[in-house]
Amino acid sequence: MLPRDTHCNYPYCGNEIFKNQKYCILHCHQDIATQEDEWYFEKLFLKYLKDKICDYLPRSIGTNLDDYISVSDFFRNNDVIDFLKENYITISDIYFPKFFHLSSLNYLPLCRKIEFSGCHFNQKEIFINGSNVKFYCCTFNCNIEKHFHNNFFKNYDNEIDIFSECLFKDRILFNGINFSEININSLFCNCVFDKNIIIENSTITFDIFRFYHHIGTPTSEKNDVDKFRKIKYLNIRNCKFEKKFILNNFEINELYILDSIFQDKLEIKNSQCKKFEFKNSNVEKVSDFFESHFDRFEMRKSIFRDFAGFENTIFGTKEFGKATFTYVTFMSFANFRGATFNFGLDLSNTNLKESPNFLGINILSDNTNRETFRIIKNSFDKNGNHIEANNYFIQEMKSYKYELKGTKGNFSKKFIVYLNGFISSFGQSYLRPFFILIISIMVYNGLIYGQQFYFVGEDCIFYNFVNNLNNSSRNFLPFSNFLKDRQGIEFISLLFYIWFSILIWQIVVAVKRHTIR
């Protein structure tokens, strides 16, 4: 019997340690370097597999398969073959080295249903021809993307999660896969991804990501649960989703959905995403982005044929700019209730079949164009909410003022718009025109009082010119009665009366816009 210190430290493993490690070649985290090591790994692994199968076999069969039977004879036994066709065999805690291929094992494909539990995969070859394989708590240290093809998934005939609570340390790529005939719950359940996930040219009929949330999770486990919700980079291109696509409660650095079709519901709720691009893609049914947070949000050349909900969603940051919907068509109702646009919104090139709901939105930046404010204003007007419509009319005019500032000419337009903005901020303030009116009256009274000191006499060279202006002002019928007692300053009085009328009108308009339109 071997000395105690030469045995593998893994529980219940009686193999020799490998190259002065603490564990045997099946359990140590060291790659094999020679062909002899590879042969030795295969020998021990097949022995492990044989012992594992014996543990699963019914006692009536297992007692007839004594230890002296060779591995080759064992796997040729009809009882073993029949058993392996119908039952899952669990392979636990094996560290598969870099240059070892599972497909090279002659007898592993006989296991039609295999679950790898707690295993580490350092090689790119994990495909087992003809087997239904699932993974639980496994770690993939290298790129295994070339195995995600139709043959890998064609053997799944029951509802399972293929990868459950696994860690992927390298990129994952699906390209050209038709999942329409595959019956599984999800592809990734509670998995952790350190690198990019790319899904291209595929037809998908199940949940790609699934997160099982258990109510009442202890605080000590909360961080372990939260890590399953994080994705660094997800790129979906030229895909068709025949069933619901759900990505709720996730934290995503970058999410790109391009040239894709969603035939069922699209749901990205309660998620945080730094960069989100949705381009040239169509959603046939309901889309819901409820209470998600997007730092950078861009939609372009896309169609939403059913309800689109952005309720309580937060868009934009100073770093990434405003939320944009460029050439986006909403064929049904769009709901932006309670949404916050931290750095502006652009709906100027959006096609809207129905007026959206903008009730309670917050646009916290001036980085929004006039057409967008007009769309929001008209939406409130059509719904009879004239008070909110007035507020966005003011924003529309402020944006119009900013547009005129960058143009040459248009002096008359600029004068009217700038004057309106100065007096009452386009009807936003009734106190400002009121105080301007009070000050103007005081100035006018001061002119009347000082008339005797600054009266233009007949010997002044401007006498005839001033006299003609005063005579003309007395003939201006609307104010002629008010100018009888203003001899010598009729023209100045006329200008002040016109100015007073403008200010009074601005006060009336501002008060109305704070009540009803």
- Concatenated DSSP letters for 135-159? EES-EE-S--GGG-SHHHHTT--S-
Q: Distance (Å, rounded) from C-alpha 122 to C-alpha 105? A: 16
Q: What percent of the chain has pLDDT over 90?
A: 30
Query: pLDDT confidence of 488, banded at 50, 70, 90?
Result: low
Domain membership flag for residue 208: no
Q: Assign 216 to helix, strand or coil.
A: coil
Mean pLDDT within 160-180: 85
Nearest of 33, 36, 34, 37 to residue 24 by alpha carbon? 37
Confidence check: pLDDT of 363 > 80: yes
Confidence check: pLDDT of 446 > 60: yes
Domain membership flag for residue 324: no
- For the chain, the average pLDDT equals 80
Range of the domain at 124: 1-142
**How distant, in Å, are the alpha carbons of 158, 198, 302 from that of 234?**
27, 6, 19
Burial call 70-80: b when 16+ CB within 10 Å, e when fewer: eeeebbebeeb
Domain membership flag for residue 434: yes
Mean pLDDT within 459-480: 52
pLDDT value at position 38? 80
Contact 173, 148 (CB under 8 A): yes
Confidence check: pLDDT of 132 > 50: yes
Q: How far apart are the first and last CA of the chain?
A: 98
Domain membership flag for residue 371: no
Final residue of a structural domain among 123, 142, 161? 142
What is the pTM for the complete model shown? 0.79
Q: Distance (Å, rounded) from C-alpha 389 to C-alpha 22? A: 74
Domain membership flag for residue 314: no
Contact 89, 113 (CB under 8 A): yes
Q: Distance (Å, rounded) from C-alpha 168 to C-alpha 9? A: 26
Final residue of a structural domain among 142, 172, 194? 142
- Length of the chain equals 517
**How distant, in Å, are the alpha carbons of 37, 419, 474 from that of 487?**
117, 30, 9
Q: Distance (Å, rounded) from C-alpha 253 to C-alpha 176? A: 25
Lowest mean pLDDT among 125-129, 188-192, 236-240: 125-129
Confidence check: pLDDT of 219 > 50: no
Q: Give the chain's domain count.
A: 2
Domain membership flag for residue 398: no
DSSP one-letter code for 15: P
Query: pLDDT confidence of 228, banded at 50, 70, 90?
Result: low
Confidence check: pLDDT of 456 > 60: no
> Beta-carbon neighbour count of residue 126 at 10 Å?
21
Domain membership flag for residue 169: no
Mean pLDDT within 58-77: 67
Domain membership flag for residue 217: no
pLDDT value at position 260? 97
Query: pLDDT confidence of 280, banded at 50, 70, 90?
Result: very high
Token digits of residue 122? 């350092």
Mean pLDDT within 304-330: 94
Mean pLDDT within 1-7: 58
Final residue of a structural domain among 142, 170, 203? 142
The amino acid that residue 316 corresponds to is G
Q: Which residues contact 497 (CB under 8 A, 6 or more apart)?
A: 479, 482
Confidence check: pLDDT of 325 > 90: yes
